[in-house]
Structure 1
Amino acid sequence: MKYTLLVIGFFFCHTGFGQFAEKSKDYTKYEGLFSFYYDAESDKAYLEVKELEKEFLYVYSLSSGIGSNDIGLDRGQLGNEQVVYFKKAGNKLLLIQPNLKYRALTENALEKKSVEQAFAKSILFGFPIVEEKNGTFIIEITDFLMQDAHGVSERLKRTNQGSYSLDKSKSAFDLSRTKAFPKNIEFDLMLTFKGEPKGGNIRSVAPNAELVTVSQHHSFIELPDNGYTMREFDPRSGSYPFTYYDYATPVEKSLLKRFVTRHRLEKKDPNAAVSEAKAPIVYYLDNGTPEPVRSALLEGGRWWNQAFEAIGYKDAFQLKMLPDDADPLDVRYNVIQWVHRSTRGWSYGSSITDPRTGEIIKGHVSLGSLRIRQDFLIAQALMNKPFAQSDDNTNPMLQMALARIRQLSAHEIGHTLGFAHNFAASTNNRASVMDYPHPYIALTNGVIDFSQAYATGIGDWDKTTVAYSYADFPQGTPEKEGLNSILENAQQQGLRYISDQDSRPMGSAHILGHLWDNGSSASEELDRMLGLRAKAIDNFGMDNIRKGEANSELEDVFVPLYFFHRYQTEAVAKSIGGLNYNYAVKGDGQLVVAPLEAKEQKKSLKSLFKTLDAEVIAIPSAKLSLFPPRAIGFNRTRESFNGKTGVSFDALSAPETAADMTLGFLLHPERASRLIQQKSLVPDQIGLKDVMEGLEAEVLMKTHKDAYRMQVQKTINYRVLFHIMNLAAHKEVHPQVNAIANDFLRDLKTTYMSSSDADLKEMARRISVFMEDPEEFEVIAAPKIPDGSPIGMDCAN
């Protein structure tokens, strides 16, 4: 009986194979890394698997997106890369992702297995075997490909846009982007998500927000050979670390291994001082990019070749136009993609890397197409009567915007070459394209000058990072010795490197790591910018827009000018309680950590108080007649002023927003706690009490003869009060912060209660209410500051 069943089983298997082979004659066959078949009648795909347990790389991505920066699902967005392999289990092939985070690099097979069995792996999918013949398996992969691998529905839910699920009846293969090549195969599918829209962002970009269709891409990629050499990571190098744990490491050494992330690059002639590369690093620009942006991106991106030339490579980095028939998501192409969104959003550089080694297989840059318009707008606001004589006088603004685009191209490509941000570079003679630069606008003989707005060419720090990641060393020179020499040379040149976690305006304290700042002295640059801003505001008028444009647009042009000082203010605020430190290693001779000198902190505090002075931040009353209620068809956007006066322009809310920005940085709870510590260690340093006394003397007691400016000052003063109350009630600060803030409030209450001024009495009343129940206190929100970053954040940014 058992023998009979076995024969019948064999018969069915053999018959099934014959049936598929017969049917597949009508299917479209693609031959590549894996061969696969597409059945148009059923819209199904079948994969041919010839080798089990052979690892390859699986990557999912979006080939078409949603178009909203806030939702964050962009055309060309890469998902996670995963090493996977097929394994047979019963009547299925399992797609297994091994756990590469934990390894045992040893010749001892049992030691390797002990680590492999200690940590979980992931089975990504189980595929029923359609047929098998001579060790070749046919599996249907339609359900695997037609799933929400990229997490679109989860992202829509997380961004409060509604609850969506995949509607397979409205989803299908896109054969125009489904291809096979010897080292990779590419599948593309149109996926429709059905749901109940709740958010305004999805409604603003989808023609029917109940049915949102995007395209998802799947890549199966041959893993690189073992010719790549990993290079040790150093925290001073400016590179991204690639890490894993090696449990075969001797006890006296760290389990965690760190290496740089980089492309493979080798000289044709290793002994030559200058040599071409065996395989140059070639990037391709999206052929949908328009001029003059196209030329600017090509020029800026090619700056990187300067750094490779400096380490002895000829034409090792190249930038070309993407062939018309090439797919930007094809792993064979490093791509710079021009991405459109409904609102201005970030640009970022991402990569597909080999999870085994950190080798970059594909660099993929996404550049937001609306970014150039922000720089154009900044220049338009700053220019003195640009359209007085002609509406065609756009070239000065365009040239500044294109200068920014060149820098942006180099910046994002830098990420895909393996380099992290260096936010100290702007304080160091613009030493790196990996900073976020703010346009440096000069006032030359009373005239606004854009000629130095953005740096040109690769920076000295960029040459250091390229040398560390990609340089070859003479025969006989140990690599570690050569690498250390590169970093020591950079140190001797005075180059500084400070990256993301030490540079964000909230929650960081480094005195040099800032976003969108300029100058070696943050406070001196803020003073200079405030003077420039005042001059530009004085010049501002109807000739900052073209003839026939609505005054409502003039108001929006004014926004980046009014808040021109915002990012330099962040930099100055970080000086208060700020620290100077390096990513030092033992024996390198660098400063480890020290507070900023008291004299510099006091100078910074003085500069910050200017941004809380109505004389500085009140919009001149003569300019208010430029801003009538918004015209029909010209509604406010996220980049417009916000206010409390309904349709009319709110002259008090703009300075309230500006002041709240300063106070949010200056009286940040973490900074307040640092000031307690700082004062205790160095009595001559600024302490929290000094800051509050300064606010009282330089802000709260400030008076103005002009009634309008006095009302602006009172608006500012209320913001001061709210932020001090916040410190008085905050639960995550040192109790000494609460004590100083509460003591300050009690003194203010006593002083203000006896005043005849209605606003001072109101402040006293609010302090009394606060003190009765501080647990219930929440800072009353100021009108939101408009979006306005002059450059996008990455990945990566």
Structure 2
Amino acid sequence: MQKFEGFFEYYYDDKTDKIYLVVDKFDQEFLYVNSLAAGVGSNDIGLDRNQLGNSRVVKFERRGPKILLVEPNYAYRAISDNADEQNAVRDAFAQSVLWGFTLVTEEEGKVLVDASDFFLNDAHDVTGRLKSMSQGNYSLDKSRSAFYLPKTKNFPKNSEVEVTLTFTGTPSGRYIRSVVPTPSNVTVRQHHSFVELPDNNFEPRKYDPRAGYFGISYYDYATPINENIEKRFISKHRLQKKDPNAAVSEAVKPIIYYLDRGTPEPIRSALLDGARWWDQAFEAAGYKDAFQVKLLPEDADPMDVRYNVINWVHRSTRGWSYGSSVTDPRTGEIIKGHVLLGSLRVRQDFLIAEGLLAPYEDGKTVPKEMQEMALARLRQLSAHEVGHTLGLAHSYSSSAEGLASVMDYPHPLAEIKDGKIDLSNAYDDKIGAWDKVSIAYGYQDFPNNVNEEEALDQIIQKSFAAGLTFLSDQDARPRGGAHPYAHLWDNGKNAADELERVLEVRKIAIKNFGEKNIRDHEPYAKLEEVLVPIYFFHRYQTEAAVKLIGGLNYRYALRGDGQLITEMVDPQAQKAGLQALLSTLSAENLALPEKLIAMIPPRPISYDRTREVINIRTGLTFDPLGAAESAANMTLQLLFHPARAQRLVEYHSRNSDQPGLGQVIDQVITSTWKKSHNNGYEGEIERTVDDMVLVNLMGLAVDKDASEQVKAIAYLKIDQLKNWLQSRLNSQQGDAQKAHYTFAIRKIEQFQDDPEKFELVKPLDPPAGSPIGMGCD
């Protein structure tokens, strides 16, 4: 057999395609990591090349002829010198036996086991993922699976085994059909790593919710009764100064990241540059050359846990990028940073630039600023995802604080200069002020005479004085979110003002839109792909502005830290936010120029309608009213979210100056249904918006997550609208408006007969949105 010497010695038998593992480390814990080396290629399915799977502390235990791979339960511990106390906790909570091996032979304390079935197992749960994504029921076909020797290697501190696995079944989803040559046979590669755990010299750092870190937690049952039983520590790499007393010092061992060699230029240089921004933060924390980024050595395997790797991943569609880590669950020490960057991300930014600039004056020449904008975003994206692998969480208040963090989601900043759109400042080009605070908190190496807890708190307190804060994912989500400053893909300190500005940028882009937005010899139908990110250019700033309505300003305040705890958003700010939102519903903003509509024909053969174009009700032809419907519904769904509606009810009851739900609904109806309607195309848009208002009000009135009072108010406003329509019906001029009123009255009456059984119209969805470049991103 072929012998592989290393951390765990093993042998490969090429006659039987089996691996025999030598187990000589019993009851000695190590890290077991499984991953996906070669993926499926669909962002929607989520099985990507070089995707990390589970990482677990395990150990081998012998039970007669059986060798068990056991995962201890580190969620519950007793940090104590008392063995009986430790055993009491260990026996109170279940462990997990991941596999049972049968002994083949033994000698001198070593045993040989046939590990083939273990390695040829679906450890990454590909079958489960395909089933959960409704892509089909598949099972592992071992007759079409085998070891993959080019990536099966052994090293002194880690053993690596890779296998080719084939899953067979009946495909039922379009995603799997779109990426697999024979969808009934899905072949991927899975990777297994056995890794020596770090030594005990790592010093965990206390978790603080204000510092911007992911972390680990566990329950310590040896904790005195007057202390908190749950212990929390941040996730971080091991980094120490050679001289902790020096203001600036080299690191004992620098943190080095490696870029995937499969990344082409000029993308390669952009990703290297962006990742290297983090050295600015480490320099600010007193390190010299402590963070480095290099190209992956030719003989290195990106799945080898000794390398922190930035992977360049191809998919069939645009999708999220990820920053994940292999972390020691005992301490929070990051062993391997692992970044996945989707390769189609850059093309979406290029598409946005095409839409904003209408750049093809002669139909051929590609202006330099388009590529530079796309590369600028890649630099930011590289820094962002590497930040996650340093332990950092999303920081979504950054845009309201002068782009304080690359851990925010940045929307391209399109400025208006001399009446033209300018993208020269589309993305930032450096690490942010908050990022330096976070790195200082997590990685500062304090001299022995410094009280670490006090020094860490001082870092946070100084950030408050500088006007910096940290708010993360749950605070930024738009549908139920309430925070006025923490948003995804936004710009500016004031969400309402920025929405009005973005609408002006959008107006200029749409006015200039035409054949200069595509290159020579491209089908005119492709104008629609370029139009989509421009027509919906305001979508993320709309998500930001809507959070002013029924909004609550707050911080992750600790007792005694002097931070704001909670504060309702000022009524005037809510009024401004509502006015900006109503602007997104105006026919002026939703209508497209006639010359542009006439320039978009039905799709030619082989150019299918995908989710990247506008949903339509017109068969083959472009549908400008469908575009208006989906855009209007986008705003109204956010505005009439049941959580937002409930806060409006609650806050108004506590403070009558706060707008109530009824007031907001009245203002929306006054600005839509009750507004004098135009003739022609703009009039049809206005009627479309009216319909979306009524559909969303009805939806709120029957929403299972809405309170009884929210439903009651929505029902009342629907009834009041019906009465108003009935009183105005006979005075309407023209069949279009009379039909509009008559049908609305009939719908409301049917709804009132039995709201729960009334079938609501499903509005058209907008084309695919997040991630921009279609986070986490």
Give TM-score scaled by structure 2 length: 0.98
CA-CA distance at 1:237 after TM superposition: 0.3
| 2:620 counterpart of 1:639 | no
In the alignment, what sits opposite 1:653? Answer: 626
Which residue does 1:218 correspond to in 2? 192
SS at match of 1:776: coil
Q: SS in structure 2 opposite 1:700?
A: coil
Amino acid corresponding to residue 294 of structure 1 in structure 2: R
Residues 750 and 758 in structure 2, CA contact (< 8 A), matched pair in contact too: no
Could you tell me which residue of structure 2 aligns to residue 92 of structure 1?
A: 66
8 Å contact kept, 1:333–1:362 = yes
Offset at 1:778?
A: 4.6
Secondary structure at 2:598's aligned position in 1?
helix
Contact 1:60 1:79 (C-alpha < 8 Å) held by counterparts? yes
CA contact (8 A) 2:348 2:773 kept: no
Aligned to 2:257: 283
Partner of 1:165: 139
Aligned partner letter, 2:563: Q
Q: Which residue of 1 aligns with 2:75?
A: 101
Provide the residue aligned with 1:129 in structure 2: 103
Q: 2:20 aligns with which of 7, 32, 46?
A: 46
- The offset of 1:752, in angstroms, is 1.4
Deviations 1:180-203 (A, max 9, x none): 000001000000001011111111
- Does residue 196 of structure 1 match 2:170? yes
- In structure 1, the partner of 2:751 is 770
Distance 1:636 1:458 in 2: 40
- Correspondences of 1:174-193 after superposition (within 5 Å): 174-193=148-167
Select the residue among 484, 496, 508 that pairs with 2:469.
496
Deviation at 1:743, TM superposition (A): 1.1
| Residues 647-698 of structure 1: per-residue CA shift (max 9 Å, x gap) | 0111111010000000010000111011000100110111101111101111
Q: Percent identity over the alignment? A: 54
Distance 1:496 1:51 in 2: 48
CA separation in 2, counterparts of 1:499 and 1:792?
21
Q: In 1, Cα distance between the equivalents of 2:392 and 2:487?
A: 17
Structure 1: 5+ residue stretches without partners: 1-26
CA distance in 1, matches of 2:328, 2:27: 17
1:275-303 deviations in Å (ceiling 9; x for gaps): 11111000000000001100000111100
Q: Which shifted more, 111-120 or 751-760?
A: 751-760
Return the letter of the residue paired with 1:543: K
Could you say which residue in structure 1 is the equivalent of 2:735?
A: none
Q: Which residues in structure 2 correspond to 1:608-619 (within 5 Å)?
A: 608-619=581-592
Counterpart of 1:605 in structure 2 is 578
Q: Are residue 153 (structure 1) and residue 134 (structure 2) matched?
A: no
> Cα 1:790–1:117, aligned 2, differ >3 Å: closer, same or farther?
closer
User: How many residues matched?
Assistant: 769
1:370 and 1:779 map into 2 onto residues whose CA distance is 37
Q: Which amino acid aligns with 1:272?
A: A
Q: Please list, as runs of the form range in 1=range in 2, the aligned pairs for 1:370-409 lying within 5 A after superposition.
A: 370-383=344-357, 385-389=358-362, 391-409=364-382
Tell me the equivalent position of 2:740.
759
Between 1:176-185 and 1:620-629, the stretch displaced more is 620-629
**1:747 deviation in Å?**
1.2
Q: How far off is 1:732 after superposition? A: 2.5
Which residue matches 1:21?
none
- Supply the AA of the counterpart residue of 2:73: N
Matched with 1:300 is: 274
Flag the 1:220–1:792 CA change in 2: closer, same or farther, 3 A.
farther
Compute the displacement of 1:782 (Å). Answer: 1.5
Matches within 5 A, 1:671-686: 671-686=644-659
The 8 Å contact of residues 363 and 516 in structure 2, kept in 1 or not, is answered as no
Match status 1:698 vs 2:657: no
Report SS of the residue matched to 2:111.
Answer: strand
Q: Distance in 1 between matches of 2:7 and 2:456?
A: 38
- CA positional deviation for 1:349: 0.3
- For residues 352 and 703 of structure 2, the distance between their equivalents in structure 1, rounded to whole angstroms, comes to 38
| Cα shift at 1:740 | 1.1
Q: 1:554 aligns with which of 505, 520, 527?
A: 527
- The equivalent of 1:416 in structure 2 is 389
1:268: Cα distance to partner? 1.3
The SS at the match of 2:99 is strand
Q: Report which stretch shifted further, 370-379 or 394-403.
A: 394-403
Correspondence for 1:5: none
DSSP-derived class of the 1:523 partner: helix
1:230 alignment partner in structure 2:
204
Give the aligned residue type for 2:390.
L
1:527 aligns with 2:492: no
**Separation in 1, partners of 2:57, 2:226:** 31
Is the CA contact (8 Å cut-off) linking 1:69 and 1:341 kept in structure 2?
A: yes
Which of 282, 297, 300 matches 1:326?
A: 300
CA contact (8 A) 2:212 2:394 kept: yes
| Gapped regions of structure 2 (runs ≥ 5) | 731-737
CA contact (8 A) 1:168 1:192 kept: yes
8 Å CA contact 2:346–2:773 kept in 1: the answer is no
* Rounded Cα–Cα distance in structure 2 between residues aligned with 1:677 and 1:779: 27
Deviation string 1:213-259 (CA, Å, 9 cap, x unpaired) is 00000000000000100000000000112111101011111111100
Shift of 1:120: 0.1
- Asked if the contact 1:422/1:435 (under 8 Å) is kept, the reply is yes
**Contact 1:163/1:196 (8 A) holds in 2:** yes
RMSD: 1.1
Deviates more, 1:636-645 or 1:392-401: 392-401
2:548 pairs, out of 555, 560, 575, with: 575
Give the letter aligned to residue 740 of structure 2. Answer: D
Secondary structure of 1:532's counterpart equals: helix
Match of 1:20 in 2: none
2:672 aligned counterpart, secondary structure: helix
| Residues 723 and 779, structure 1, Cα contact 8 Å, conserved in 2 | no
* Pair 1:73-2:47 in alignment: yes
Of the three residues 136, 144, 164, the one matched with 2:118 is: 144
Matched-pair contact (CA < 8 Å) for 1:374–1:790:
no
Q: Distance in 1 between matches of 2:354 and 2:469?
A: 34
Query: Does the CA contact (< 8 Å) of 2:347 and 2:773 recur in 1?
Result: no
Q: Which secondary structure does the structure 1 equivalent of 2:31 belong to?
A: strand
Is contact 2:35-2:124 (8 Å) kept? yes
Normalised by the length of structure 1, the TM-score is 0.95
The correspondence for 1:476, drawn from 449, 456, 459, is 449
Partners of 2:769 and 2:658 lie apart in 1 by 34
Structure 1 residues 379, 790: CA separation in 2 closer, same or farther (over 3 Å shift)? farther
How far, CA to CA, are the matches of 2:139 and 2:51 in structure 1?
A: 20
Q: Which residue of 2 aligns with 1:11?
A: none
1:72 aligned counterpart, secondary structure? coil
The answer for the alignment partner of 1:317 in structure 2 is 291
